[in-house]
Amino acid sequence: MEQYLIYNSLSYPILTVIVAVPLVGSLITLFIRGDRYLKIWGLMVTLITAVLSLPLYSNFDLTTAKYQFAEFRDWIPFVNIDYVLGVDGISVLLVLLTTLVMPLCILCSWSYIKERFKEFICVLLLMEAAMVGVFVSLNTVLFFIFWEAMLVPMYLLIAVWGGARKDYASIKFFLYTLIGSIFLFVAIIAMYVTTGTFFIPKLMAHQYSFSYQMWIFWAFTLAFAIKVPMWPFHTWLPAAHVEAPTAGSVILASILLKMGGYGFLRFCLPMAPAATFYCMPYLITISIISIIFGGYLALGQNDVKRLIAYSSVSHMGFVTLGIFLLNDIGIKGAILQMVNHGITTGALFILVGIIYERTHSREISDNSALGMMMPVYVTFLVIFSLSSLAFPGTNSFVGEFLVLLASFSKYKIVGGLAVIGAILAAAYMLRLVQKMVWADSDGHMHHGDKSHLFDLNFRETATLAFLTVFVFWIGLNPEPFLKVMDTSTTHLLEQLESGRHVVPTGKHHALLNGVGESIKHVLALK
Amino acid sequence: METIITSKIVLTPLIPMVTALLIMASKNKPNLRESWSVCGALLTFLSVVYLLPHLLAGGSYKYTLFTLYPGVSIKFHLDGLGILFAGTSSFLWIMAGFYCVGYMRGLSEHAQTRFYFCYAVAVGGAMGAAFSANLFTLYLFYEIVSIFTYPLVAHHQDEEGYFGGRKYIVYLMFASKAFLLPAMVLVYVQCGTLDFAIGNVVPGIFPHNAAPLLVKITYLLCIFGFAKAALIPMHGWLPAAMVAPTPVSALLHAVVVVKVGVFSVARVMLSVFGIDILNKLGLGIFTAYLASFTIIVASMIALTQNNLKMRLAYSTVSQLSYIILGVAMLTPNSITGGIIHITNHAFAKITLFFCAGAIFVATHKKNVSDMGGIGWNMPFTMIAFGLASLSMIGVPPVSGFVTKWFLALGTLDIHNTILLTVILVSSLLNAGYFVPVVYTSFFGKPNPGDNPSSGFLEGSPLIMFMVIPLFFCAVASVLFGIFPDFFLKIINLMVVR
């Protein structure tokens, strides 16, 4: 095991603790009465988890690609299932993103949620435990358990506290994700049958035949593509986002979508390297379509949440594009873009939630011309919108720049197409900001409307200010973040390179082959 | 002399930003707010002056603030080109600071705090661009200028304002996202860095074996990406931006914003591509023709405009291309002519806009045809207008002559009679649209329907706030024409003769 793991040397088993604290916290919630105490309890638990997770950054060993802070226990010995946790440069930022975003989810629900508060806090904390669990599991069974465990709390978040069409949205979310998980499950079992292990690093080290790789690659890809979501599997996302309560949207955008990107990096690339290289043209094509299609749809939306949801499709397209360019800059850009998207889109959803509490509408037209009445709100809106359109000096710029750099240095046409996404981003975000701040008013539209259009209170300001710090920190000094992923990315690329030479066999890929060749031809992927 | 690494040079872009915050903080005290604006301008200018002696002695300054990625950083470097632009803009900000008080109070404009705030940030952005040491920093400040001038263009918040504002932001953001962003990435892909080759304009940063086609594409993306330089067909935003209050048109759309555009183009041509590559691939002469086309066409459109500000706007489009034309001819004389026009045009054009604004505040007249006889009511304003027009036309001894002299020398250096003809013809066109304004104002008849405004209109204190700065700028234009040595010396620092 030592060849893969560096055991945890902190005074507490950090990974178990940050999974267990919210889990236990959620159970204790059931014994607390009174909304006020529930809120404070929820905030305390998430804050404690956040603080306890910080050593993951400060004690992170930058020089190794092994899994750090690892814990290993026997669990079900007769089928070789162990309890193994660990993080590397790819997952550690996502774990931290999760633990740091969760307190904000509680804060943004402070006055938003009016009913069933106990259940709400309980579900949120369960969600946190499951999400952290997904990122830290090094065993496919454990991974799958956490993966499925996210499904129910998220379903409940939408179905119980959602908007008018919550039933439709929650079922759609559930079904899409469930179908993806079935394929994931099949792949996990199939790999166990072949290799006799569920331990992820060992599964990576094993060399599979080409056609086997193709099968598991597409099984994984389907599961993760739904989660990301990539076009054409994206339709659940706008529905879910629009109906979910603010905290649900934030979790969905900031963390859940990242599981798809994480899955690609953890499973597809290292376990099926030859297939990855083989299928790269398709994935790049789909990413480009997601980028342009998502952006184009966002341009036409009149519902703020829906607009941001489609913008997520576009931004996550940059993530998958970066991943499947299969080079160092692209993958780093993709991971950074995931973190950035978590920060920026999370903040945008919090902003939508704030205005929804005041006007009870998500339509742009009902929330227009706020500049005069809510200057602080508008300032944050401008900051996060600029961040979302990758304004230089903000976080998203760095991620997008790296992905573009990777595309232009590899395939110029792909880069050129991705730029369309950047143009669209500027168009739909500036349109949104213009309408929400001014529309076509002379600035005095809501004068005398002070009763419900009051500016941000301290809680709301603090929530957004916290995220603003990261917008500029990553935007101006991304070095510390890029350094964290450096060694692991290099290692991942080595795994890819060593595994790519498995020769394609059999004729059953004739169709794939033909289409792939023509895509390569069109995009000049030579 | 050596390059000094010092964080002092961050101060110059920082002062306007801090000023903006102070303006915001004192929004209920107009007098304090406007004094912040003037003080900020003064301090910015002083900080530039403070840096000057070392530069004149042949040294330079640099400082790296943040590194984003190897070769991509926020980094400042001051050289001759930068300090000329920064000095001009910050000095004119002082003038505009006074002028704004007269204009905004004279018309009791709304949202004045927002106005002063954005105004200061935009100038700060220009300072940052002037001081930038690489393409990323330039891009960052360029974009800051774009975003923060939108509220100024749409200031009136009426239908016309929103229409102009939308056109403005669409042009600028589209160009920067569609052209500039890929251009920047392509430069990085080919060169491995975005840092300018400062100190020598010949080599550029491209490797010798760079693929010519790709370099050409990158170049085109760059010059059209900097839409603020208003090369046709990317000029449409500039006339649209004229819906803004006149101080905005004056300082920002004659000096700061548009000059950020041409400055960036000049910077990219000289410090990224370098004279060698531009010559080798024939890009220099191509750009020169493109600029010539812009000069002639924009001048012709200006002839047809009756609205004084629109006429000035098209004149700006045309004059900006002189700067690009000068740089694009790639000879020491022509580059000198081009770069010195940054200052010469700035002083003259701000005077013209100030005049247009003063006339509007005093008489509410916008169109040239309505201005018959106005010169007798506002003599100082119209005399200043006349002097600045002479500079635009290029009559000695006003400063515009110096530009055209060096440009003409440049065309002779490369033996290109077409470009020489362009310069001469365009001077005639300049005369064609400026002389009638001066003529009408003194010798034209007032419109029959107007009740003839009588007497001396420049006596009231608010109008004085406008007339004194504008007259000062006009006189400065003349002085720069008679004594151009100082600017030539600064430009000589970077252009190797």
The 10s digit of each residue's pLDDT in B170-208 is 999 999 999 999 999 999 999 989 999 887 888 889 988
- Looking only at the bridges linking them, the beta strands covering B72-78 and B60-69 are antiparallel
Task: Answer whether residue A10 shows pLDDT above 90.
Answer: no
Task: Answer whether residue A444 shows pLDDT above 70.
Answer: no
- At residue A139, the 3 state secondary structure works out as strand
H helix count then E strand count, chain B:
21, 3
- How many Å lie between the alpha carbon of B208 and the closest alpha carbon of chain A? 18
Task: Answer whether residue B143 shows pLDDT above 90.
Answer: yes
Would you call A7 exposed, middle or buried from its count of C-beta atoms within 10 A (0-12, 13-18, 19+)?
Answer: middle
What are the start-end ranges of the H helices in A391-509?
395-410, 412-437, 458-476, 479-499
Task: Answer whether residue B60 shows pLDDT above 90.
Answer: no
User: For residue A288, what are its two tokens?
Assistant: 């480009």
- How many Å lie between the alpha carbon of A421 and the closest alpha carbon of chain B? 10
**What average pLDDT does range A88-95 have in this prediction?**
92
pTM: 0.93
Confidence of residue A156 (pLDDT cuts 50, 70, 90): very high
Task: Answer whether residue A340 shows pLDDT above 70.
Answer: yes
- How many Å lie between the alpha carbon of A502 and the closest alpha carbon of chain B? 31
Distances (CA, A) of A126 to A45, A91, A143: 11, 20, 15
Distances (CA, A) of A477 to A118, A343, A394, B9: 40, 16, 10, 20
B99: amino acid identity, one letter: Y
**What average pLDDT does range A64-82 have in this prediction?**
87
With tokens 């959620």, the residue in question is: A26
B195: amino acid identity, one letter: D
Contact A335/B at CB under 8 A = no
Chain B residues with CB under 8 Å of A422 CB are 177, 181
Confidence of residue A106 (pLDDT cuts 50, 70, 90): very high
**What average pLDDT does range A221-233 have in this prediction?**
91
pLDDT of residue A448: 58
Percent of chain A with pLDDT over 70: 95
Best of A318, A370, A376, A423 to mutate (most B CBs within 10 Å, chain B): A423
The answer to whether the CB of B386 falls within 8 A of the CB of B307 is no
pLDDT of residue B294: 94
Best of A336, A430, A481 to mutate (most B CBs within 10 Å, chain B): A430
A45-59, A423-437, B355-369: range with lowest mean pLDDT: B355-369
Q: Which of residues 368-387 of A touch B (CB under 8 A)?
A: 386
Contact A393/B at CB under 8 A = yes
Distance CA A414, CA A410 (A): 8
A405 to B189: CB separation less than 8 angstroms, yes or no: yes
Distance CA B235, CA B213 (A): 26
Chain B residues with CB under 8 Å of A427 CB are 173
Confidence of residue B497 (pLDDT cuts 50, 70, 90): very low
CB proximity list for B374: less than 8 A, separation 6 or greater: B359, B363, B365, B382, B441, B453
Percent of chain B with pLDDT over 90: 57
pLDDT of residue B345: 93
- How many Å lie between the alpha carbon of B290 and the closest alpha carbon of chain A? 25
Closest CA to A484 of A321, A276, A331, A269: A331
pLDDT of residue B288: 94
Confidence of residue B220 (pLDDT cuts 50, 70, 90): very high
Distance CA B466, CA B357 (A): 8
More confident residue, A468 or A453: A468
Contact B243/A at CB under 8 A = no
Contact B28/A at CB under 8 A = no
Task: Answer whether residue B495 shows pLDDT above 80.
Answer: no
**What average pLDDT does range A482-509 have in this prediction?**
81
**What average pLDDT does range B433-451 have in this prediction?**
83
With tokens 């204009």, the residue in question is: B103
B68 to A415: CB separation less than 8 angstroms, yes or no: no
**What average pLDDT does range A210-217 have in this prediction?**
88
Task: Answer whether residue A360 shows pLDDT above 60.
Answer: yes
B178 to A442: CB separation less than 8 angstroms, yes or no: no
Distance CA A521, CA B253 (A): 46
CB nearest B157 (choices: A402, A441, A479): A441
Task: Answer whether residue A342 shows pLDDT above 80.
Answer: yes
CA end-to-end span of chain B: 18
Chain B residues with CB under 8 Å of A404 CB are 181-182, 185
More confident residue, A101 or A209: A101
Q: A301-323: per-residue pLDDT in tens?
A: 999 999 999 999 999 999 999 99
**What average pLDDT does range A443-455 have in this prediction?**
67
Chain A residues with CB under 8 Å of B111 CB are 443
Q: How far is CA A122 from the centre of its chain?
A: 22
Best of B21, B68, B190 to mutate (most A CBs within 10 Å, chain A): B68
Task: Answer whether residue B452 shows pLDDT above 70.
Answer: no
Distance CA B215, CA B283 (A): 10
Distance CA A247, CA A120 (A): 10
Task: Answer whether residue B394 shows pLDDT above 80.
Answer: yes
pLDDT of residue A507: 53
What is chain B's mean pLDDT, rounded?
89
Chain B residues with CB under 8 Å of A423 CB are 174, 177-178
Task: Answer whether residue B292 shows pLDDT above 90.
Answer: yes
Task: Answer whether residue A220 shows pLDDT above 90.
Answer: yes
Q: What is the gyration radius of the CA atoms in chain A, in angstroms? A: 22
Confidence of residue A449 (pLDDT cuts 50, 70, 90): low
CB nearest B178 (choices: A386, A419, A443): A419
- How many Å lie between the alpha carbon of B118 and the closest alpha carbon of chain A? 13
**What average pLDDT does range B114-118 have in this prediction?**
91
DSSP symbols for B207-257? -TT--HHHHHHHHHHHHHH-GGG--TTTTTHHHHGGGS-HHIIIIIIIIIH
CB nearest B66 (choices: A386, A409, A476): A476
What is chain A's mean pLDDT, rounded?
89
Confidence of residue A187 (pLDDT cuts 50, 70, 90): very high
Task: Answer whether residue B344 shows pLDDT above 70.
Answer: yes
Cis amide linkage into residue A504, ω under 30° from 0: no
Phi then psi for B7, rounded to 5 degrees?
-75, -5
Task: Answer whether residue B453 shows pLDDT above 70.
Answer: no
Distances (CA, A) of A414 to A288, A391, A418: 8, 21, 6
Task: Answer whether residue B496 shows pLDDT above 90.
Answer: no
Confidence of residue A517 (pLDDT cuts 50, 70, 90): confident
**What average pLDDT does range B94-119 have in this prediction?**
87
A408 to B181: CB separation less than 8 angstroms, yes or no: no
pLDDT of residue A255: 93
Task: Answer whether residue B407 shows pLDDT above 80.
Answer: yes
Task: Answer whether residue B27 shows pLDDT above 80.
Answer: yes
Task: Answer whether residue A227 shows pLDDT above 50.
Answer: yes
Distance CA B340, CA B348 (A): 13
**What average pLDDT does range A493-522 have in this prediction?**
72
Answer positive or negative: Cα dihedral of B66, B71, B77, B81. negative
ipTM: 0.91
CB proximity list for B408: less than 8 A, separation 6 or greater: B337, B420, B423, B424
> Which chain B residue's Cα is nearest to A419?
B178
pLDDT of residue A508: 52
Contact A201/B at CB under 8 A = no
CA angle B341, B345, B348 (to 5 degrees): 145
